[in-house]
């Protein structure tokens, strides 16, 4: 069933008002998703959390459908783990400060729901599509694992430790490009609405290494980059969005990230 983000917002409002999961009508529960471990929440906070869980699960379904269509039987679904505060993963102990991440060891995406508040309040990147971009980026890392890209990159980091940070940047920018491929497919499926792409680009720019360093220390140190600059992240997301083609996402063949 095709549903624009405006329709999703309506379902979110209905879910809050009536305290029921209206996304269940769409079968959008999301494989591997579930209630995040959490401390006591007020009824209003619980309702907001439930609807956010449903929305994220809906985005997960559409993202994985894109990759099933693109990769065929090479793709297998990732699992989504939503939590608050802290959780144990196959990649180690994760806290809110870790931010969203993908763990190749258990093929799960971990998202602390509090990060979405931080994305809006601290980084100035509000909106449904900004939230969707974050998840699509992490699923991009799952695609890299399935295609052997992530494993090869880790091997290269061991062989060339002086290039470890640049290789990490290449990997992250490619995940941004893969997120753009999902955006391309979502546009073809009429899921996107006016302003959605701008929200995604804003989110990509908000989490650039240069912007985060400037916010935290007042200085920019390119040698410490691990994810790429705001301009690079926007550019690679746009490449995937415009082409919808894996071949357009060869960040490793474009070592300057441009």
The per-residue pLDDT for 29 is 39
Could you tell me the pLDDT band of residue 125, with boundaries at 50, 70 and 90? low
Residue 183 pLDDT more than 80? yes
Which of 60-74, 85-99, 222-236, 239-253 has the least mean pLDDT?
85-99
Window from 4-13, 34-43, 53-62, 111-120 with minimum mean pLDDT: 4-13
Show Cβ contacts of residue 88 under 8 Å, excluding neighbours closer than 6 positions: 94
**Mean pLDDT, rounded, of the chain:** 79
Evaluate if residue 155 carries a pLDDT over 90.
yes
- Residue 33: its pLDDT value, please? 45
**pLDDT at 97 (0 to 100):** 59
74, pLDDT greater than 90: yes
Which pair of tokens denotes residue 162?
Answer: 């002086």
Q: Is the pLDDT of residue 110 over 50?
A: yes
- Looking at the predicted structure, is the pLDDT value of residue 89 above 70? yes
Token pair for residue 79?
Answer: 């699992």
| Token couple for 92 | 């180690």
Q: By mean pLDDT, which of 1-10, 59-68, 81-90, 179-188 is the weakest?
A: 1-10
CA atoms within 13 A on the CB side of 93: 2
pLDDT for the residue 20? 47
Assign 58 a pLDDT band (cuts: 50, 70, 90): confident
pLDDT of residue 126: 57
**Spacing of C-alpha 201 from chain mean position:** 13
Query: What is the residue-wise DSSP string for 222-256?
Result: GGG-SS--HHHHHHHHHHHHHH--GGGG-STTSTT
Compare 215 and 146 and report the one with higher pLDDT: 146
The rounded distance, in Å, linking the Cα atoms of 251 and 102 is: 19
Q: So what's the pLDDT on residue 134?
A: 87
Higher pLDDT, 36 or 94: 94
Q: Where are the domains of the chain?
A: 5-249
Q: Scanning the structure block, which residue is given the tokens 């497919």?
A: 185
- pLDDT of residue 24 exceeding 90, the answer is no
Q: In this predicted structure, which of 2-11, 67-76, 199-208 has the lowest mean pLDDT?
A: 2-11
């Amino acid at each position: 069933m095709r549903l624009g983000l405006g329709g999703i917002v309506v379902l979110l409002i209905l879910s809050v008002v009536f305290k029921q999961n209206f996304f269940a009508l769409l079968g959008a529960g999301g494989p591997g998703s579930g209630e995040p471990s959490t401390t006591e929440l007020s009824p209003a906070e619980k309702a907001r959390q439930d609807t956010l869980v449903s929305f994220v699960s809906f985005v997960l379904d559409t993202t994985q459908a894109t990759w099933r269509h693109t990769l065929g039987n090479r793709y297998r679904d990732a699992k989504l783990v939503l939590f608050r505060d802290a959780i144990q993963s196959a990649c180690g102990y994760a806290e809110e400060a870790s931010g969203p991440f993908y763990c190749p060891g258990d093929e799960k995406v971990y998202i602390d729901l509090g990060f979405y508040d931080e994305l809006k309040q601290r980084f100035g990147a509000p909106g449904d599509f900004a939230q969707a971009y974050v998840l699509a980026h992490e699923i991009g890392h799952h695609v890299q694992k399935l295609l052997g890209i992530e494993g090869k990159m880790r091997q290269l980091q061991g062989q060339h430790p002086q290039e470890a940070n640049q290789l990490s940047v290449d990997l992250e920018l490619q995940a941004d490009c893969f997120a753009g491929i999902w955006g391309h497919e979502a546009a073809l499926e009429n899921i996107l609405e006016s302003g959605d792409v701008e929200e995604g680009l804003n989110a990509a720019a908000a989490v650039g290494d240069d912007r985060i360093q400037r916010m935290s220390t007042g200085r920019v140190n390119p040698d410490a980059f691990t994810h790429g600059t705001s301009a690079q992240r926007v550019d690679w997301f746009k490449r995937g969005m415009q082409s919808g083609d894996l071949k357009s996402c060869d960040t490793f063949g474009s070592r300057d990230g441009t």
